Amino acid sequence: MRTRTKGLILATALLCAGCLGGVAGAAEVDRPLARGLLELPETTLGDMRGRYLAGSNTVLYFGVQMLSSWQMPDGRLLSGSALVNIDFRSGSPVVSFTPTVSIVNTGSGGTLADTHARTIDSSGVANASGLVQNIQVTGDHNRVGNTLRLDVLGTVPSGAGGGSGPDSAQTTSDGASARVALTSDGIGVTLALADQGLVRQLIRGNGAGMGSVLQSAAVLGDNHLITNQLQMTLVLQRLDPASLLRQSVAQSLSQMRGLDHP
């Protein structure tokens, strides 16, 4: 479980870093320095970035809820979900994983479109890193959506944790398949039907420092309804006001020791 935990947290850290990087990369306006102030070089600022947090940065809990659903015009409903909980409160990570897959027939009695003249190339998506949301559609009257939510909390949600199921689950029916798997470098949900499309959600990372969070749907047919939903919960340790003040002062003094004085 240690390798799996490393991959999951690496991908999530990459996602958060990408969000912060978008803010840090905003356009800056040149302004003259006030008298007596010294402009610090980029290398010094780079070493200080991210050091001043409102509270401890100790992770107590990390959770993932991943759900993909695909309603087809012939009445079939494909779904796959993954529930992951990583609890750090005991000092060592405790990982639980619950996969769920299903293919049911709702009885609408429609037909699937002939898609032999339609093509989609999604090969480049596999090479992307960071947060990626991809929708490719060649048919008509399709509704496709990707949604992602990240909650940073101070307390572990009630009901978090629990038992763990197998590392994977899969079901197939008339060429359609739904699969959920926990691997050494992440977790994933995949729904597929030949000549109609492919739906995926992935969180992955590796020891080389690369990782990604992917939500993707490639649809060849007509009249499909597809949703990808991903919710991540990160719980950080909260400090009381006195401890927070002591920590902030200590961090500030530590950083100032490395600054040059004019």
> For 59-103, how does the pLDDT look when each residue is reduced to its tens digit (9 = 90+)?
888 899 999 999 999 999 999 999 998 888 887 888 889 999 999
The pLDDT of residue 64: 92
Which residue range forms the structural domain that includes residue 212?
59-106+128-236
If you write DSSP's letter for every residue of 240-256 in order, what string do you get? Answer: -HHHHHHHHHHHHHHHH
pLDDT of residue 21: 38
Q: Is the per-residue pLDDT at 27 higher than 50?
A: no
Confidence (pLDDT) at 153: 87
Asked if residue 53 has pLDDT above 60, the reply is: no
Residue 251 has a pLDDT of: 64
Residue 29 lies in a domain: no
Number of domains in the chain: 1
> Which burial class, exposed, middle or buried, applies to 90 when counting CB atoms under 10 A from its CB (0-12, 13-18, 19+)?
exposed
Residue with tokens 């999604």: 122
- H or E stretch including 45? helix 42-48
Q: Give bridge partners of residue 86 from the DSSP assignment.
A: 62, 95
**164/44 Cα distance (integer angstroms):** 45
For 162, left (φ over 0), alpha (ψ -120 to 50), or beta?
A: left
Q: What distance in Å separates the CA atoms of residue 12 and residue 106, rounded to the nearest whole number? A: 36
pLDDT at 36 over 80: no
pLDDT value for 249: 66
pLDDT at 3: 47
Here the tokens at position 9 are 């947290």
Are 141 and 222 a contacting pair, CB within 8 Å?
yes
In a domain, 47, yes or no: no
**β-strand pairing of 211-219 with 130-137:** parallel
Per-range mean pLDDT, top range of 101-115, 149-163, 236-250: 101-115
Count CA atoms within 13 Å of residue 79 on its CB side: 12
pLDDT averaged over every residue in the chain: 78
Q: Which amino acid is at 22?
A: G
Instruction: Establish if 19 belongs to a structural domain.
Output: no
Q: Considering only residues 238 and 128, tell me which one the structure prediction assigns the higher pLDDT.
A: 128
Q: Is residue 102 part of a domain?
A: yes
pLDDT at 199: 97
Measured in degrees and rounded to the nearest 5, phi and psi for residue 175 equal 90, -15
101, part of any domain: yes
Residue 136 lies in a domain: yes
Q: Is 4 helix (H, G, I), strand (E, B) or coil?
A: helix
When pLDDT is averaged across residues 143-157 and rounded to a whole number, the result is 90
Cα separation, 82 vs 190, whole angstroms: 11
Average pLDDT on 32-41 reads 56
Would 21 be classed as within a structural domain? no
Q: For strands 59-71 and 225-236, give the pairing.
A: antiparallel
The pLDDT tens digits for 192-219 are 999 999 999 999 876 555 678 999 999 9
The pLDDT of residue 205 is 78
- Within a domain: 231: yes
